[in-house]
Amino acid sequence: MAQIGTDIKQAASLLANGQVVAIPTETVYGLSANGLDESAVARIFEVKGRPTTNPLILHFPTMAALKPYVTHIPPLALQLARRFWPGPLTLLLPKHRKVPQIITAGLPDVAVRVPNHPLTLALLQQTAFPLAAPSANPFGYISPTKAEHVEKQLGDQIPYILDGGDCQRGLESTIIGFKGDQPLIHRLGAIPLEQLQAETPGVEWAFHTLEKAKPLTPGMLPFHYSPKTRLLLVDDLKVALQNHPYDKTGIISLSQRVEGIPDNHQIQLSLEEDLTEAGRHLYKSMHQLDALGLEVILVERLPQVGLGKTMNDRLARAAMPRPMDTK
Ligand code: TXA
Ligand code: MG
């Protein structure tokens, strides 16, 4: 069992000794290690059961702290960083050679972010190195948004979980790369496309598409973010329920209560239909229903706007069958 606490000094000293520590961020909990220590970073991959072909995000306390680790910051990247950091934005920037290859899986760009959580910012101020951190879940499973989620999934493999309470955003960061002057969204996240567009008048936003020959990175893999229970993303809960037993089915909806389903088997993400609130509760709800041993979890598709798009993206991946069980 991992120790769960709020002792930044203890977390910093474990990290300085090459150990892996779970940390809170405003998006999801991360599984962190010294980003400059290859063997500490290798331990992240081992604990997560994640292929080493999949690069990691480096976390910094400030934009000034990350400058030595990249060779160039495009003007638009600077503008976005000033607007959204600390916050749920990850930028892909050309890496300096001091960034170990294991962080970027051999790619020319490194993913960097300044997270917005007081405990983790204080921790980052105390460590003499950036923290490499993927989401703190076993490869392919639901991201954790509370310390208990991490403890349940990975607690037997890590010494310490820094407990920062429930994640405020509950959805991973938006990842943006650049091709020349053109910004490309690599992963839709806690900053919706509409907000990016509103902040950058005149800029044309596009999505990164994978070239077929390139290896897929898990954020892009079709299966991901899944509970152990089968999950289906549906347009109409009542129609979908015709094919499933009422007593063995879990329901996640934006605001609708379904008659005949036990109260503890159904979760409304936001009675006010607020998508920010819904985003905060989505993964928590999936973790909660996944623990009940149900046959299936039906999730009502969210409105395809703002954070609804991010949530539908994650849910579509969670609904994909897993090619193999990793844990
Ligand atoms: O909100 C977040 O971003 C959380 C918190 C802990 O910061 N982290 C997170 O990390 O979601 P992870 O590893 O679960 O997802 C990061 C995604 C992966 O899909 C990875 O392939 C992609 O970012 N990525 C990382 N470095 C990259 C790079 N150099 N080029 C392209 N994609 C990269
Ligand atoms: Mg992840």
- Ligand 1 near 170 CB (within 6 A): no
Gap from CA of 172 to ligand 2 centroid (Å): 8
- Ligand 1 near 148 CB (within 6 A): no
Gap from CA of 30 to ligand 2 centroid (Å): 9
- Ligand 1 near 174 CB (within 6 A): no
110 pairs with which residues across the strands?
93
Gap from CA of 48 to ligand 1 centroid (Å): 13
Measured in whole angstroms, the distance separating CA 117 from the mean position of its chain's CA atoms is 14
pLDDT score recorded for residue 211: 61
- Ligand 1 near 37 CB (within 6 A): no
User: Across the 327 residues of the chain, what is the mean pLDDT of every consecutive 10-residue run?
Assistant: 97 98 99 98 97 97 98 97 98 98 97 98 98 97 98 98 98 96 95 97 92 52 84 97 96 97 98 98 98 98 98 96 57
Q: What pTM was computed for the model?
A: 0.96
pLDDT score recorded for residue 248: 97
pLDDT score recorded for residue 165: 98
**Amino acid in the structure at residue 2:** A
pLDDT score recorded for residue 220: 56
Yes or no: say if 181 and 78 are a contact pair by the CB < 8 Å rule.
no
**CA-CA distance, 232 to 43, in Å (whole number)?**
33
Which residue, 158, 125, 146, is CA-closest to 287?
146
Using the structure block, give the residue that is written with the tokens 């390139």. 214
pLDDT score recorded for residue 321: 80
Gap from CA of 172 to ligand 1 centroid (Å): 9
- Ligand 1 near 226 CB (within 6 A): no
**Amino acid in the structure at residue 16:** A
Q: Environment class of residue 52 by beta-carbon count within 10 Å: exposed (0-12), middle (13-18) or buried (19+)?
A: middle
- Ligand 1 near 44 CB (within 6 A): no
CB atoms within 10 A of CB 281: 18
pLDDT score recorded for residue 209: 85
pLDDT score recorded for residue 212: 53
